[in-house]
Amino acid sequence: MTETGTTLGEALARRGVSRRALLQYASVVAAQMMLPASAATTIAAELAKVRRQSVIWLSFQECTGCTESITRSFSPTLEDLIFNFISLDYHHTLQAVSGDAAEKARETAMEENKGKYIVVCDGSVPTLDGGVYSTIAGRTNLDLLQETAKDAFAIVSVGTCAAFGGLPHAKPNPTGAEAVAPLVKGKPVINISGCPPIPEAMTGTIAYVLSLGKIPDLDHLGRPMAFFGETIHDRCYRRPFYEKGYFAKSFDDEGARKGWCLYEVGCKGPVAYNACATVKWNGSTSFPIQSGHGCIGCSEPDFWDRGGFYRPLSAGTSSKTGMYVGGAAAAGALAGLVAATVARKRKSVAMAQPAAQEAESKEG
């Protein structure tokens, strides 16, 4: 880990990492965060000055997919984050210590870095029955979250579970699972949704906060605009087929083989805000739509309850069940969906309107 008392620049130099390499890395972060190229110099300079930065990672009700995802980050790598950038003082999956020693590490990190440390949370927090459904060191998730968040600089909620409740929050939500943001008061919360979230969205955001000491621009759901400012549909390479009305009707028909739009086989790209189509996955190798599967909208609230992963958006959703339905109910539900999207004041909202028109025409 970064040696106490030294700066990141000094630590990197000792490892033979040149200033040029740091600048290159800063350029990647600047590009990811949609900053002007000139910001790279500032980021590199500020990163070089960064001293030991404590990060406390709290895991609640989740599947560990978010940690799996961040360990597959390509730029920067988790190794960069842990060994060169930060001190990951507490992380259930990655820490070497356990039991009392782990809790002591968390308490010490909080004490020594009051007001400066970052808390990363994954998973949702059970609130029913006194929060008994998930405990760590004999304490409820809620208790641990509120104690740890109290003196933090900022909270970063990674994954749809921490950001919006995710799978544990899906009906009937037996544990009373809640997202993190409503449970911590008076602290900035950055949501990086996705089930799991894109690793570069997590590491890029954390690097941004570390280097610039501020919170990036967020959308109305608390997500960094740099990664969540556009829909998958906005940047999808299959979009020209959508415009021309070329749609795959099943996953193995001729249209699917020709790479046509997956809208009619249930793709939720038009209403899913995330960077899968641009940042992609596994070192920019591919993303679900590129491998032939529609987007399931995992970065949006309540995507599990909406169900219908293979039903087209034009089939709409039932306000009662949350499941996709057809006919008149569909048109009304979809109109609501479109209206909600319009409220987001994003240019990509226009892309949801053809779906509403399609639903209306089907109704007629």
User: Which residue ranges make up the site for ligand FSX (CB under 6 A)?
Assistant: 62-66, 122-123, 159-161, 166-167, 195-196
* Tokens of residue 330, six digits: 């569909």
* Closest distance of CB 95 from ligand FSX, Å: 16
For the CB of residue 63, give the shortest distance to ligand FSX in the complex, in Å: 3
* Nearer CB in complex with ligand FSX: 248/296: 296
Cα separation of 169 and 179, whole Å?
8
CB of 193 to ligand FSX, least distance (A): 8
Query: In the bound complex, which residue of the shown chain has the CB atom lying closest to ligand FSX?
Result: 65
The smaller minimum CB distance to ligand FSX, of residues 197 and 316, is found at: 197
Rounded to an integer, what is the distance from CA 193 to the centroid of its chain?
A: 3
Q: Closer to ligand FSX by CB, 167 or 262: give it.
A: 167
Q: Which C-beta is closer to ligand FSX: that of 76 or that of 159?
A: 159
* Angle of CA points 8, 58, 132, to nearest 5°: 170
Q: Which is nearer to ligand FSX, 76 or 199 (CB)?
A: 199
User: Which residue shows structure tokens 């009051």?
Assistant: 114
How far separated are the first and last CA of the chain, in Å rounded?
Answer: 64
What's the Cα-to-Cα distance from 177 to each of 125, 130, 164, 272, 296, rounded to whole Å?
A: 5, 12, 10, 22, 21
Q: Which residue has the tokens 């630590």?
A: 11
| Smaller CB separation from ligand FSX, 304 or 324 | 304
Q: Please, what is the minimum distance in Å from the beta carbon of residue 135 to ligand FSX? A: 17
Can you read off the two tokens belonging to residue 339? 């209206």
Rank residues 298 and 325 by Cβ distance to ligand FSX and give the closer one: 298
Residue partners of 316: CB distance under 8 A and separation at least 6: 324, 325, 326, 329, 330, 331, 332, 333, 334, 337, 359
**C-beta closer to ligand FSX: residue 61 or 87:** 61
| Residue 58 C-beta: closest distance to ligand FSX, Å | 10
Nearest of 122, 123, 140, 144 to residue 131 by alpha carbon: 140
CB of 153 to ligand FSX, least distance (A): 22
The nearest distance, CB 233 to ligand FSX, in angstroms, is 22
Residue 62 CA: distances (Å) to CA of 75, 122, 153, 163, 272:
24, 7, 24, 12, 21
- Round the CA-based radius of gyration of the chain to a whole number and report it: 22
CB 330 within 8 A of CB 316: yes
Residue 171 Cβ, how far from ligand FSX at the closest point, in Å? 16
* Choice between 123 and 270, CB closer to ligand FSX: 123
Q: How far apart are CA 96 and CA 166, in angstroms?
A: 28
Decide if 61 contacts 177 (C-beta within 8 A). yes
Upstream peptide bond of 196 is cis (omega within 30 degrees of 0): yes
At its nearest, how many Å lie between ligand FSX and the CB of residue 361?
Answer: 36
- Length of the chain in residues, anyone? 364
